[in-house]
Structure 1
Amino acid sequence: MIELVTMEEAQAHLKITNPDVDLLDLQLKINAASKVVLNYLAGTNFYEVEVDINNVPILDTSGEPIYAETSSGDRIVMYEVKAATLLMLGYLNRDRDTDEEKAFEMGFIPRPVTALLYPLRTPTIA
């Protein structure tokens, strides 16, 4: 399972400071929010790509993009994808059983999440 945000990022976003918080529940929501975002992106790249000084993607010898990495060698998730995942996590955490505010319709994700992801998505024909 690809996690688009870390436990630490999730706790910071949700302003969780209590050490007794149910980490299993939070991990479940991280996984679910990540999956929602990945499903919406439908195979579109979600990692930062290295660019040259003209903002043109840098490609390797086979023509594939070179992805930006952390100092530990992990690929960096695009900021808007990370932000969308954290927003989705917030919805899942706040509305545990219902969607009383009618933030999104059945089968759709909340508009703020979609607004961040839509420009990245590769359109598909059903």
Structure 2
Amino acid sequence: MQLITLDEAKHHLRYDDDANDAALTMYIAAAESAINRYINTDVPAAGLADVKVAALMLIGYFDENRNADKDTPTNGNYLPQPVVSLLYPYRQPVIT
């Protein structure tokens, strides 16, 4: 299921041209993949807005931090904290 369209991502990031479409398409796919790996429960229809906003935020994070280096913000997790905060209600703890 595609959460975010290219047009939604471009609108969110305030891009008016097509110069970044290839990179944005990859960021959309990567964000949706990361979110699908993090969420391990069914998201109710009421929670879909949370997931969409989290995806847009993650796409923005990827766009702003194109090259991971020592100055890239991190919280010790693989997802930025605001994204985790939106997605956390849709994740059940897993004991391994």
Category of TM-score, reference length = shorter chain: 0.7 to 0.9
Query: 1:37 and 2:35 equivalent?
Result: yes
Alpha-carbon distance in structure 2 between the residues aligned to 1:3 and 1:47:
16
Partner of 1:14: 13
* Alpha-carbon shift at residue 86 of structure 1 (Å): 0.5
Shift of the alpha carbon at 1:24? 1.6
Quote the Cα distance in structure 2 between the aligned partners of 1:109 and 1:27: 19
Flag the structure with higher helix content.
Answer: 2
TM-score, structure 1 normalization: 0.67
Root-mean-square deviation (CA, aligned residues, Å) is 1.8
What is the 5 A alignment of 1:35-114? 35-42=33-40, 44-48=41-45, 78-98=48-68, 100-105=71-76, 107-114=77-84
Deviant stretches of 4+, over 4 Å: none
- Structure 2, unpaired ranges of 5+: none
**Per chain length, whose mean CA-contact separation is higher, i.e. which structure has more relative contact order (CA < 8 Å, sep 6+)?**
2
Unaligned stretches of 5+ in structure 1?
50-76
CA distance in 1 between counterparts of 2:68 and 2:10 reads 22
How many residues are matched? Answer: 95
Q: State the identity %.
A: 33
